[in-house]
Chains A and B, each alone.
Chain A
């Protein structure tokens, strides 16, 4: 009888652990974008990516549609190439879309703001492996201050 009680308590222990693990999985951790979903890949060339990191969000009007997969440097022109994986459910973006690197809040993380372009006759939608031509680089604070000093010296 004593051993049965021990087994019962161990069973309770296991159930508690599973409950804790489930709570961590469902309530605490973010695993909705951990690669199991269907995605397609887009590329964009920037002059300067600022503080963008791998796994930064790609947002359309504040809604996260994908993540930055990889950041590399082009082998011939030495400009950064950002690889983004976009959820397949958002596969209707027109070719004329533009991307820019934005900052959430004053001190927040940098993310890619995706601006869908006009969809017209004769303009195809972006698909796997396409390059987005229209890009705006990150604002670098030092450059801004430099420009400000330069222009105030003029006046």
Chain B
């Protein structure tokens, strides 16, 4: 009997959490938007969330492109098909690795920081003080961070893919001696703008939404103690990584599964 009670209680808790998360999202995004106040705050947050993540994104994109080029070359060359190196690197970056790896790095680099920042604001009662001054913390604190995350992560994913393709060129063409012309031209013949690039961008927009939503909600909903904030930060990284990987499968199945 007890386990039934526990199951019911935990289900109710989950549902309540979803409800609070949705309320927070609506309060931040839908209710009475004030673009004039929102835009400068959002730009400042894009700087924090996006620009400061540029270094890790560029470096990992470069190295992932280089590694893929190296690995792909050793396999493709045994079939005499090293001309297909370009499309292999480009397609795997644009369709999968660009959105997914950027999302995972973004969750670790920016998502955790968002949660910790908002959680600490709550712990030091800055959010309550804002409310005392009749400033809605959802709109002043949460909304700019949400928009900044949703805007900057797809941009980071695009940069990641482009840098990765250049990294693949660096290793494949400049080091291993694949013909530069065939690297680019077979890539161009294979990669389709709508099917590959746009679908990758759609993926990264979905991931960005999920990650920033989880990150801001976990911070906003955290227990305002040092232990609660550390728990919330961990949960942000774990939940958003799992959500990204799960959603990636669903999106891939929808986009590329059925020809």
Contact = CB atoms under 8 A, between A and B. Distances in A.
Interface bin, chain A: 20 to 34
A13 B46 contact: yes
Interface in A3-21: 3, 6-7, 9-10, 12-14, 16-17, 19-21
B47 interface: yes
A25 interface: yes
Contact of B47 (A6, A17, A20, A24): A6
A85 to B, nearest CB: 16
Given A6-B43, A12-B51, A13-B50, A29 B158 contact: no
A3 to B, nearest CB: 7
Contact of B193 (A3, A9, A10, A25): A25
Contacts of B174: none
A29 B193 contact: yes
Nearest to A29: B193
A9 B192 CA distance: 32
Given A10-B43, A30-B188, A24 B162 contact: yes
Main secondary structure of the interface of A (DSSP, over half): helix
Nearest to B189: A30
A106 to B, nearest CB: 11
A153 interface: no
Interface string B160-175: 0111010000000000
Interface residues of B, number: 30
Nearest to B166: A23
Nearest to B86: A28
B158 A24 contact: yes
Given A27-B184, A29-B197, A30-B190, A10 B46 contact: yes
A31 B158 contact: no
B196 interface: yes
Contacts of A30: 188-193
Contacts of B155: 13-14, 16-17
Interface of B: 40, 43-44, 46-47, 50-51, 54, 90, 94, 152, 155, 158-159, 161-163, 165, 184, 187-194, 196-197, 259
Given A3-B44, A17-B158, 19 more contacts: A3-B40, A7-B47, A10-B43, A12-B51, A13-B50, A13-B51, A13-B152, A20-B158, A24-B158, A28-B94, A28-B165, A28-B197, A29-B196, A30-B191, A30-B192, A31-B192, A31-B193, A34-B192, A34-B193
8 contacts: A6-B51, A10-B43, A17-B159, A21-B162, A23-B162, A29-B192, A29-B193, A29-B197
